[in-house]
Each structure stands twice: as C-alpha cells, then as structure tokens.
Amino acid sequence: MATRTVDLRSDTVTKPTEAMRSAMATAEVDDDVFGADPTAVKLQSEVAKMMGKEAGLFVPSGTMGNLISVLVHCDIRGSEVILGNNSHIHIYENGGIATIGGVHPRPVKNNEDGTMDIDLIEDAIRDPGGELVYPTTRLICLENSHGNTGGRCLPVEYIDRVGELAKKHGLKLHIDGARIFNASVARRLRKTLGGGMRQVGVICAAALVALQENLVKLEGDHKNAKRD
C-alpha cells in the first residue's frame, strides 16, 4: 500500500487542488495594472463584499499587504505604530515598515492569547503635542489570528475595545489579516513596491475557487487537526 504523507508544517506548504489548477488554466485575463483583468476584479469585489468593505486589492504576499496598509495609514515618515512584540509584522517582515516606510515600531508585550493589554497600549501612545524628541503615534496594529501564539483568534469584544481606544486618540487601526481600507492609494503603493502584476487572473482564479469551494471544508480540517 502506498504511503501518504500529510505535511502539517505550515499552511504555506499547501498545493493547488485540481479545481484550482483547472480554473488557473482557463482563467480570463487582461492587464491588472490597468485595472482590466476581469478575474482579479471579480476576486477583489467578492472579498470586499464578504468583508463588508467598499473595495479590495490583490497583492502577491501578506507581507506586502501589511506594508502597504501601514504606509497608507502612516503617510508621514517618522510616524510610529504600536504593535505586538511577538507579531508577524515586527518579527518576520524584514523590518520593512522602518526600512521602506520610515515608520517607527513601538512594540507592546503580547499575551499568550495574542492580545496586548489595553492599558499598555494606551500607555505607549505618544501625545502629538508632547516632547518634540518623540515620534508621533498614528497607528495600532493587531494580528488575527495570531501566528506566534498558536494561531489563536482575538475575541471580537477585544478588537472593539482596541478600536474604541484608537478612536479616542485619533489613531488608525490595522488588523493583519484584514483587507486594505483605502484601495486607491494602496494600488499606487503596490506598484511602487513592485507588486503591480499584469495577467494576474491566473492566480486570482485559484483564490476564487478557494473562496467558493474550500471555505466550507475548514470545519473538517479543524476537527481532523484535533484528533489524536
């Protein structure tokens, strides 16, 4: 009997299903830099609708998505972002927000469930009218689900509390895992960062299959992962 290996190292080692490969081979494509690739447009529209947002933008990696989001919200160099000390942006993204965006990271300790204490977040916020030697806080970043704490999901109530804190201090809130809010500015930044692809519908077609066919399978995956 043939031996079948199940690779559980990471979701990054997954491979396209046959349905995805078929969709990629037959995808309708055009130039996405001109906004003309119909498959990319469909994917972006479907994701925006799912998330209840006005627009979406396909980018080639999560790292680029995070970087674009931070740059959109911190459009003044020398801005400061508050984020978890164990977050993906802070640890695994090559310091891009600082090296490319000129954005200063101000890490706050992550708890075992991926949250940061609300009081610690508020204490880390710099008063824009305070000392001139400090950078100005403009953004708070959360990660949901939180990879370095076992993929834990942040409670909705917690996210709401952080959102209220951000509003109280006039700050923006970015969630690593959420879509980009200002898609028009983000599209220009994507091009600047080398993410403007042409016939990208070939890739977007596979993503559409994942949204339309594979989401319903996630519950089964979770049950299998918990089996002894």
Alpha-carbon distance of 99 to 104, in angstroms, equals: 9
Domain count, the chain: 2
Domain membership flag for residue 227: no
If asked whether residues 32 and 136 sit together in one domain, one would say no
**What dihedral do alpha carbons 44, 46, 47, 49 form, nearest 10°?**
120
- 46 with 112: CB under 8 angstroms? no
| pLDDT, greater one: 8 or 40 | 40
Could you tell me the CA-to-CA distances from 111 to 36, 115, 207 in Å, in that order?
44, 5, 32
Q: What is the mean pLDDT of residues 87-95?
A: 95
What is the pLDDT at residue 36? 92
If asked whether residues 55 and 78 sit together in one domain, one would say no
| pLDDT, greater one: 203 or 171 | 171
If asked whether residues 97 and 51 sit together in one domain, one would say no
What is the pLDDT at residue 185? 62
If asked whether residues 72 and 173 sit together in one domain, one would say yes
If asked whether residues 110 and 152 sit together in one domain, one would say yes
CATH of the domain at 173: 3.40.640.10
| pLDDT, greater one: 140 or 48 | 140
Per-residue pLDDT tens over the stretch 1-11: 678 787 877 77
If asked whether residues 75 and 109 sit together in one domain, one would say yes
What is the pLDDT at residue 53? 87
Q: What is the mean pLDDT of residues 44-62?
A: 90
If asked whether residues 94 and 161 sit together in one domain, one would say yes
Confidence (pTM): 0.83
What is the chain's mean pLDDT, rounded? Answer: 88
Lowest mean pLDDT among 88-102, 125-139, 176-190, 212-226: 176-190
Could you tell me the CA-to-CA distances from 117 to 64, 108, 114, 175, 196 in Å, in that order?
27, 8, 10, 16, 38
Site of tokens 């509390």: 161
Q: What is the mean pLDDT of residues 83-103?
A: 96
If asked whether residues 129 and 97 sit together in one domain, one would say yes
Per-residue pLDDT tens over the stretch 176-188: 974 333 344 667 7
Percent of the chain with pLDDT over 90: 57
What is the pLDDT at residue 1? 64
Domain membership flag for residue 2: no
Structural domain containing residue 205: 19-60+197-212
Domain membership flag for residue 228: no
If asked whether residues 129 and 114 sit together in one domain, one would say yes
If asked whether residues 139 and 116 sit together in one domain, one would say yes
If asked whether residues 95 and 148 sit together in one domain, one would say yes
If asked whether residues 49 and 129 sit together in one domain, one would say no
- What is the Cα 191 distance to its own chain's centre? 18
